[in-house]
A and B are shown apart, each in its own frame.
Chain A
């Protein structure tokens, strides 16, 4: 199948002015300004199929928003090839812009001095949505998001969560085929995050729109994105199933066990007798959390079951947040 989004060897360099601290340097910079090239996106390649929801994750300054802005046509790439729905975003042709939408969690796109309802009307007109279709879509989205009572309000009178619901609807009124969501749940409480996620999932299911989502909340990514693209310092570190991310990035498992009564051996005794390296990462009375290499999980579990009177034992992948945190701190561990 032809990819809906194609990113081939994308590179983006920002040229930023810099100077030393102090008045002398400030005066000097008036005459001779120094610049430094910052490589924000470092030759990344990936594709997205029609209807896919892809989580674009990485720490602050990783290059996620820059990549999204290039895909939306807001930034010119320094190098590489980018195509979205068959168009070159940098050309910013109206036909392309009518097919995409971008929601920025940290920036409101609704005019502050128009009611929500008026803003929706203006957007419908700008995107030339046929009137019947506009009203049908608006009714559907308003019901789905349950925001009927917000329509006569001004955006500055809305709470953050209410505003973000309206921003999402505003972005979808023209039924975009590609949706870029840049931290849409930023600053929202857990309930509102949950409702927005459910809304995005439902919109994707109904419209088969392609969605790229960036978020620092792993709950967003886990619940919405079967596939993630991990980017760090501008470089693509991982592209694949979320379930595979833990396997590839953190090649260890966690064994949680609770020791019962009546054993001659302690946990420490058993662990010291193992050939495999095991790290105790948490201990609370008779409960232990051990970290072992993925390949060692079975033999270690078998030995623990055999040598200790266990009340409970589970073997699990580390939490995705811990994996991501490890990648951010230590880089790829393959």
Chain B
């Protein structure tokens, strides 16, 4: 493992974000807009009474957490990796004595370092203004942190594997778009998975998307029983292992097919 090189790549991304000045904060603000809209829709819907066990304050808390979880887990490099493969820039990555996944991880880490303080500040201001109901507990917070880290790893790995499909088809965008749509519907973005209609809820429990966003928030809010928590972690770890194995398979096959496009 080349940590020195990996950290240098993080610094490289940070340098370029600083050159772009406010661009990434604008981007971070854009990522917040969706959850804020859903929050206002659901709090309006819950004005007459709780919806699916969620009161107005619960929706506020859920979506404020979602802003942070979404930003923390968002795999910013998933779009750039496919583009770089398509235009032939991947060759420069392959020539270096570092696996290309270092570039993707470093970009993600740097983005989070730039965006998260900004997002935390915005969410803190919104929290003070909207005063969501929140009962803190250490076990829930620890479970949240663990689930958040696993969620980040899972979301990153799946997006990276899908981006590597560009090694074959040179067009991975459609798959990444489909992945984002599933995440929007089943990950807990459009609605907490507990509010999804019967079959969709069962599908959401089985697919990986809930474990990328919704599951950590449900843990923090203390909405899951011990059994549901254990099963949830099992699914999360299982999907992460599957994504890592899939990465090994796709990488080995893909690199053989890579034809150095545009080189």
Contacts and interface: CB of A to CB of B under 8 A. Distances in A.
A177 B165 CA distance: 34
B5 A126 contact: yes
Contacts of B263: 65, 69, 74, 104, 107
B8 A126 contact: yes
Nearest to B12: A122
Interface in B69-92: 88-89, 91-92
Contacts of A109: 92, 95
A98 B96 CA distance: 7
A267 B258 CA distance: 61
B20 interface: yes
Contact of B97 (A113, A121, A124, A126): A126
A125 B7 CA distance: 9
Interface residues of A, number: 34
B94 interface: yes
Q: Of A65, A98, A125, A127, which is in contact with the most chain B CB atoms at under 10 Å from its CB?
A: A125
Nearest to A126: B5
B230 interface: no
B91 A113 contact: no
A72 B88 CA distance: 15
B254 to A, nearest CB: 12
A102 B260 CA distance: 14
Interface in B37-95: 88-89, 91-92, 94-95
A112 B89 CA distance: 12
Given A14-B259, A97-B97, A127-B97, A113 B19 contact: yes
Given A94-B2, A97-B96, A121 B260 contact: no
B226 interface: no
B8 A111 contact: no
B88 A74 contact: no
A273 B116 CA distance: 91
A320 to B, nearest CB: 27
Interface in A121-150: 121-122, 124-128
B260 to A, nearest CB: 5
Interface in B1-37: 2, 4-5, 7-9, 11-12, 15-16, 19-20
A31 B96 CA distance: 39
Contacts of B8: 121-122, 124-126
Contacts of B94: 73-74, 92
Contacts, number: 80
B203 interface: no
A104 B98 CA distance: 19
A154 interface: yes
B16 A111 contact: yes
B232 to A, nearest CB: 38
Interface in A251-285: none
A126 B95 contact: no
B88 A113 contact: no
Contacts of A100: 95
Nearest to B96: A126
B96 A74 contact: no
A75 B5 CA distance: 24
B15 to A, nearest CB: 5
B169 to A, nearest CB: 11
Given A14-B259, A75-B259, A75-B260, A126 B98 contact: yes
A113 B16 contact: yes
A188 to B, nearest CB: 20
Contacts of A126: 2, 5, 8-9, 96-98
10 contacts: A73-B94, A74-B91, A94-B2, A101-B95, A104-B263, A107-B92, A121-B8, A125-B4, A125-B7, A126-B2
Closest 3 A/B residue pairs (Cβ): A125-B8, A113-B16, A94-B97
